[in-house]
Structure 1
Amino acid sequence: MNGHSSLIRMETPPMPYFITIGLSRFAPGEQHPSRRNLGVFDLLWVVKGVLHIGEEDRQWELAEGQTLLLLPDRYHYAVKPCEEETVFYWIHFNFAGEWTNGEEAAAPVHPPRQPWMSAYTMQFPQSQMLPNFTLALRQLAKLMELSTENRSSAFLKEQQSFLELLRLLEEGGESRSASPAMKLAESTEAYIKQYYQADLKNETLAEALHFHPNYIVRCMKEIYDCTPMAYLQEYRLEQAKLLLIKTEWSIAQIAEEVGFRHTPYFSSCFKQYCGMPPLQFRRQFL
């Protein structure tokens, strides 16, 4: 293969924005054109043959089922002509937010977020052999069909199909690069979010996830920089903040709804977390 692998990370929002799609066919002896500072991301999906392409000091031999994301501020060039008929889809898209290109070994930390911020870091390998390439082909064909429709009817459908392709890229990268600690920490996070209203303890998590409680705690500290119970506490308090804004419920009702059994303890935890009592927090929005 290939240039050494790197991980592309995009802090969202904003979201990557689909521009256009095309299908290129190279006969033996033809090659990808060289381009510099294209200004948009160029996402390649090889469906037949082998594409020999480089970016700065990296080079790839992309076979059927492989993807490559060419970056907007780099020099792209043909390493050598195609030796057989080669067919690939290409997608141009833009991204107005912050993005980085780094090594896979740098595992991101995901601290608890305020739910209404919807902040997320999309990440996927710059190049990969996609395990679910058949699903990707359906979306690529759909995007090609939409490209012939008028803009008003196709726009949202195009963006939806494009985001589905990015999801497949992210899932494909996770299937190989996610560490055991990352997988268990994310499973713990998902379980906490689903059952945060219940009386959760480390032993409950251990029984549900089939791992020793000490190992779960260690993985959560490594990935999320907090224990499972600290994550649970913060998640409950973030849910309480939403209920204070979105409902007229009493403090006692909200405390019970988010998993606190004693209202005074809830109020104490809330004040420590937010710097003010629950009612004062609500009054900010009246």
Structure 2
Amino acid sequence: MAQPAYISISCLPLPTFIEGGYATFHAGDHHPNRNNLQYFILMFMIKGKLFISEDDNDYTVEPGEMFVLLPMHHHYSWHAVTEDTGYYWLHFYVSGHWQQQATLVPMRSAIKVPTLHHYTPTETLYLAKHAKMQHPDRLVQMTEQIFKNSSATKEYGFWQAQQLFIDVLQEVQVQSQQDSAMVQLSGQIQRYLRDHFDEKITNTTLSQEFHFHPNYLIRTLKATTGLTPTEFLRQYRMEEASKRLLNTNMLETEIAEAIGFQNIYYFSTVFKQYTGLSPSQYRQANTRRIKADKEGLK
């Protein structure tokens, strides 16, 4: 097996299963030569050997192994199949960020994710490009069920196939000890910021709380969420302010103090930078919209 390579995929939005099947080749056959397929190809080798190249890198995929081909890359056979060969293949589409490297690389979300109502310590799926399947029988069973669901005439078969495909990705995902530690620390930082968002929090505060240098804490949160602690805290506070402006009769000064701002003018400035409206404009505009929506339902 060649030098290990890993594919890091942003999971917001989630990868989408497109189609799949079981490919059979006989001695002398070649894998199709193509370079314009827009999907990832996840392969589970069942029998025989597949001699396949991707951008001049040669691989031999054997029974019990999984392999991933990248979208919009050149795929072709570097040697004809020498025996009856078969494997399951699944095409899936990724609209977010991804890259292939020799190490695991955290990927940020391709869409803006609220911090107030969304909690996940990591948004990256890691796949080994070429590896042994840990539970081949279970993967085969799940894959065949995906095909069965996706071809069902009932409309909910599509959703069942998508749900099961995510289960397959979870089954084959990779997570190193180092990444696990980073993910756990990121989750702890996020939870601390959520629980203490109304307090004064500095890099020194976090360093004393978690016993790491501030720069390491900043890198950890940035790598897993795309935000520094300061950015995460500000976004969370602005989302909390937005909720209170719409759902309570609290004065702006009361809201500012409740979410950790001592200066109402600074709060208003930050809120306008975040939403494009002052707190009062935001409350008025959204109150009118909500009222109009309710009247439209009458």
Measured at CA, do residues 221 and 129 of structure 1 come closer, stay the same or move farther in structure 2, by a change above 3 Å?
same
Q: CA deviation at 1:129?
A: 2.6
Are residues 1:161 and 2:159 paired?
no
Given that residues 40 and 94 in structure 1 are in contact (C-alpha distance below 8 angstroms), is that contact kept between their aligned partners in structure 2?
yes
Given that residues 54 and 78 in structure 1 are in contact (C-alpha distance below 8 angstroms), is that contact kept between their aligned partners in structure 2?
yes
Q: Secondary structure at the match of 1:165?
A: helix
Query: 2:264 & 2:169 partners in 1: Cα distance?
Result: 40
Given that residues 125 and 173 in structure 1 are in contact (C-alpha distance below 8 angstroms), is that contact kept between their aligned partners in structure 2?
yes
Query: 1:254 & 1:53 partners in 2: Cα distance?
Result: 61
Alignment deviations for residues 7-48 of structure 1 (CA, whole Å, 9 cap, x no partner):
3545844x5432222123456x36552221353422212245
Which residue does 1:278 correspond to in 2? 279
Q: What's the RMSD between the two structures over aligned residues?
A: 4.3
Structure 2 unaligned regions, length at least 5: 289-298
Measured at CA, do residues 154 and 101 of structure 1 come closer, stay the same or move farther in structure 2, by a change above 3 Å?
same
Query: How is 1:131-146 mapped onto 2 (pairs within 5 angstroms)?
Result: 133=135, 136-146=139-149
Measured at CA, do residues 228 and 12 of structure 1 come closer, stay the same or move farther in structure 2, by a change above 3 Å?
closer
Given that residues 107 and 123 in structure 2 are in contact (C-alpha distance below 8 angstroms), is that contact kept between their aligned partners in structure 1?
no
Which residue does 2:58 correspond to in 1? 59
Q: TM-score, normalised by structure 1?
A: 0.69
Q: CA deviation at 1:115?
A: 0.9
Given that residues 66 and 127 in structure 1 are in contact (C-alpha distance below 8 angstroms), is that contact kept between their aligned partners in structure 2?
no
Q: Secondary structure at the match of 2:18?
A: strand
Q: CA deviation at 1:249?
A: 4.4
Q: Secondary structure at the match of 1:173?
A: coil
Given that residues 3 and 60 in structure 1 are in contact (C-alpha distance below 8 angstroms), is that contact kept between their aligned partners in structure 2?
no
Which residue does 1:78 correspond to in 2? 77
The percentage of counterpart residues that share the same residue type is: 22
Given that residues 23 and 90 in structure 1 are in contact (C-alpha distance below 8 angstroms), is that contact kept between their aligned partners in structure 2?
yes
Q: TM-score, normalised by structure 2?
A: 0.67
Query: How is 1:34-183 mapped onto 2 (pairs within 5 angstroms)?
Result: 34-41=32-39, 42-48=41-47, 50-82=49-81, 86-95=85-94, 97=95, 99-104=97-102, 107-108=105-106, 110=108, 113-115=112-114, 122-125=124-127, 127-129=129-131, 133=135, 136-150=139-153, 152-169=155-172, 172-175=173-176, 178=179, 180=181, 182-183=182-183
Given that residues 126 and 174 in structure 2 are in contact (C-alpha distance below 8 angstroms), is that contact kept between their aligned partners in structure 1?
yes
Q: Secondary structure at the match of 1:54?
A: strand
User: Which residue type is aligned with residue 244 of structure 1?
Assistant: L
Computing the radius of gyration from Cα coordinates, the structure with the larger value is 2
Given that residues 97 and 108 in structure 2 are in contact (C-alpha distance below 8 angstroms), is that contact kept between their aligned partners in structure 1?
no
Query: 1:270 & 1:136 partners in 2: Cα distance?
Result: 53
Alignment deviations for residues 138-161 of structure 1 (CA, whole Å, 9 cap, x no partner):
431321322442152411111222
Q: CA deviation at 1:234?
A: 3.2
Q: CA deviation at 1:91?
A: 0.9
Are residues 1:17 and 2:16 paired?
yes
Query: 1:10 & 1:224 partners in 2: Cα distance?
Result: 15
Q: Secondary structure at the match of 1:73?
A: coil
Which residue does 2:216 correspond to in 1? 219
Q: Secondary structure at the match of 1:34?
A: coil
Structure 1 unaligned regions, length at least 5: none
